[in-house]
Amino acid sequence: MNAIAMPIQRRTVRLWLPVLLPAVLVLPLLPIAALALIPGSPRPFAAVWMAWRVLLACAGTTVEVDAPHARVSIRLF
């Protein structure tokens, strides 16, 4: 018997996330991370400020994950 291969049905999920929402959720953790990761730093607030700027610089980033059964596209704006 010959088996006929069925085409794989792929689902596409597209998410648009504002950068401000994850940034606000991560904001309370930044001072703790700065103090934990940089214990000898003379300027922990500068480290927190730099981490905040890096997080906000992610605006416009598109992350795409392509798996056999699904495709996920996340865009930060």
pLDDT digits 0-9 by tens, 43-76: 767 777 877 788 778 788 888 888 888 888 888 7
Residue 64 CA: distances (Å) to CA of 8, 10, 31, 68, 77: 19, 14, 30, 13, 15
Number of neighbours of residue 30 by Cβ within 10 angstroms: 19
The pTM assigned to this predicted structure is 0.48
Domain boundaries, the chain: 20-76
